[in-house]
A and B are shown apart, each in its own frame.
Chain A
Amino acid sequence: MSLPPPSTIIRGRTWVWPDDVNTDIIIPFRFKARTNDPVEMAKYAMYGFDPEFYKKVKPGDLFVAGRNFGGGSSREQAPVAIKYSGVAAVVAESFARIFYRNSFAIGLPALEVPGITKQVFQWDDLEVNLEDWTVKKVKDGKLFHALPVPDFLRGLMREGGLVEYYKKHKNFPWEQVRQLA
C-alpha cells in the first residue's frame, strides 16, 4: 500500500519533541527488524517516548522537533513509521543527515527551521506550505522560512518519493543534477 503524495498546503496540530530524538526512539530496532509492512511499522512510531503514540496521533498531525531529529541509524523505517502513523510533515531545528535524505526519498515533508521550538508549542496549529517552503503559525500568522533545499529534492518529495517518481519518469531526479545544482 502506498500513500498519496503530500498536499501543497498542510494544516495540522503539532506534537513538539526535544533535541536529539534518535531513530531508536522513533522505532526501536527489535520492531523494525521484524516487519517489512509500513502499516505495521507505524504501530511502533515514537515507541521510545510513548508506546501508545500510534493510538493518540491523528491523521494530518505535524511534528515540530529540536536539533538533530532522526539521529543514529540509517533505518528508513523511522520516517516510514512517522508517515504511516498519519503525521503529514516534520519541521525541525535540524535533521540528522540520513533521516533527512530518507524523508525526501519516501515523500515525508521535512523542513528545517532554526529556532522553531522557541516559537511553536504542543498543539499549536501550523500551516506548512510546500510551494513556498514556509511554515505559518495559524494563531498569529507568524511566518517562518525553512532553509532552502535543491529543487530536485523538493520535486522528489512532492511527487511522493522515489518509488512514485521512478514509476512516472523512469529515471531518478538527480540524473539532471548538472542543471539543477
Chain B
Amino acid sequence: MSQTILNNDSLTFAEKIISVKADGGQKIHQAGEIAVIPADMAMAQDSTGPLAIKVFREMGVQKVWDPKKIHLVIDHSFPAPDEKVANLHILIREFVTQQGVRLVEGSISHQHLLENHVVPGMVLFGADSHTCQAGAIGAFATGIGSSEMAAVWASGKLWVRVPESIKINLTGQFKKGVYSRDIITHFIGMVGEDGGNYKSLEWKGPAVKNLSISSRACISNNSMECGCKLSIFEVDPATQDYFKTANRKAMLEIHSGPKAHYKEEYDIDLGTLEPQVWGPGNESKVRAAGEFGDDHLDEVFIGSSTNGRYEDLQVVGKILKGHKVKAGTRCIITPASRNVFERAITDGLAETFLQSGAVFTNATCGACVGTHLGVLGENETCLSTSPRNYVGRMGATTAKIYLSSPATAAASALEGRIADPRRYI
C-alpha cells in the first residue's frame, strides 16, 4: 500500500508522507483529516527544553521512548549570559545524563540537524517554530510546544492534521545582489503573516535546481513567518549530492503527484526581484533596499538559523573585504554552527570580518533572541538577517528591527544605513 500511495498522482507531499507514516501506510489521509504519526527524530532547545523536561516529570514518565532519536540543543543563549539561563542549562544537562539522550551545545539546532542528522522522508518534531527548515531536504519537519514535546518523548508519536498545500512556482534567474532570502521575504510580503497558517508550502519550478541546499534551508526556515506547518523542497539531484557528500541516506523520497490539489498557487520570477527589506515591526511592508533614506543604523546583525550559513558568510566577506564598517554602527556576525565557525576561521573569512571592524562571535542564535551578544537598547535601529522583526524581539520594545539578506546587511553595515548591496558586488 505504501508504494501505491507514493505513486499516487493526486496527492500532495504532506498527504503522501502522513499517509505512509500513519497506521503503517494502510490508508490515504487527505487534507483536513487527523492522523497519528511516529516521530523519527525529536528536538528541543534551551528555551523550550526546560519546560518540556518539567512537564515530562510532572506526567510521571520514567523513561523516554528512544534516547537515540532525541536531541537537546543548547543554542539560543549559549554560553549562558547570566545565572538564570545557566541554571536552565544545568537542568537540560541533568536530563540528558539521566535519559541518555543526545546533547549539542553551541550550534543552532536546525543547522546542526541539517549538517549531521536529518534526512529526506523523516518525521522531525521540534520544540522550535523554525524546525520547518528541514523541509528543505524533503523531510516532514514542524514545530510544536513543550508539553507536546514531552508527549513525544514519552510515546514517540503525535497527532497531526493533514495540511492543505500551497504551490509556489519559481522561474527565472536572480539579478546580481539578489538571494534566496529575497524570495521568501517577497513571498511573506505577498501573502502576509498568516498567509501560510496551517498549510504546507511546496516550492517547485525550474528555478529550484539552481538553489543550493543552504539557500533552500533559508527559505524553508523563514517560511515560518507566514505561519506554515511545512515548507518543502522535494529531493532532486542537488539533494542527492548533498547526502552523498554527507554520507547519509534518505529514508524516503516523496514527490507530490502531478494532479495534486493545491489550495493556492503562486508564481515568482526570480529575475523580477530586487533586494528586499521587511520592517520595522510586523505591521510594516516589504520594500526594496534602494527605497530607504539615510536613517542611521545602530546595529547590523548577520547570523541566525535563517542566514548564518557558510554561503551567507562568504557573500558577506566579499562585500566587507577591504572596507570598514561605518563608525557608529555595530556589525555583529554570528555563525549558525560550530562547523560554519571553524570554516570561517580556517579560510580567512574571520580575518576579513575583524579587519572590517565587525564583531565575530561563537555560533549561537545570538542577537536574534535578545538575551545576549547584541541586545538593542531604547529606540535603537537594527538591520538583521534573523527571521523576526517583532516588537521587543531583540531587546527594548522601542527598538526598530528591519530584516534583509546577508548581502544587504553587509552593504548596510558599511554605510550605516539601509543600502542596496549591488554597489559592492
Binding site for B on A (CB under 8 A): 2, 20, 22, 24-25, 28-30, 32-36, 47-48, 51, 67-68, 71-77, 80, 94, 96-98, 101-102, 105-106, 150, 152, 161-163, 166-167, 171-172, 174-175, 177-178, 180-181
Contacts and interface: CB of A to CB of B under 8 A. Distances in A.
Which of the four size classes fits the interface of chain B? 35 or more
Given A47-B392, A177-B159, A30 B227 contact: no
A76 B51 contact: yes
A18 to B, nearest CB: 9
Contacts of B225: 72
A90 to B, nearest CB: 15
Interface of B: 23, 33-36, 46-48, 50-51, 54-55, 58-61, 76-77, 82, 84-85, 88, 91, 126-129, 131, 143-148, 150-151, 154-155, 157-159, 193-194, 197-198, 224-225, 227, 229, 282-283, 369-371, 375, 388, 390-393, 395, 397
Contacts of A22: 193, 282, 388, 390
B54 A172 contact: no
Contact of B51 (A67, A77, A161): A77
Contacts of B146: 76, 102
Nearest to B52: A76
B120 to A, nearest CB: 23
Given A28-B370, A30-B369, A76-B48, A162 B147 contact: yes
B197 A166 contact: no
B159 A166 contact: no
B43 to A, nearest CB: 11
Contacts of B58: 2, 163, 167
Given A71-B194, A177-B35, A162 B390 contact: no
A30 B395 contact: yes
A75 B47 contact: yes
A19 to B, nearest CB: 8
Contacts of A101: 144-145, 148
The 10 closest A-B pairs by CB, nearest first: A76-B145, A174-B159, A102-B145, A68-B194, A24-B390, A34-B84, A105-B147, A74-B143, A76-B146, A74-B129
B51 A162 contact: no
A68 B227 contact: yes
Given A36-B91, A74-B129, A28 B393 contact: yes
A24 B392 contact: yes
Contacts of B61: 166
A86 to B, nearest CB: 20
Given A28-B392, A29-B371, A47-B392, A74 B36 contact: no
Contacts of A172: 151, 154-155, 157
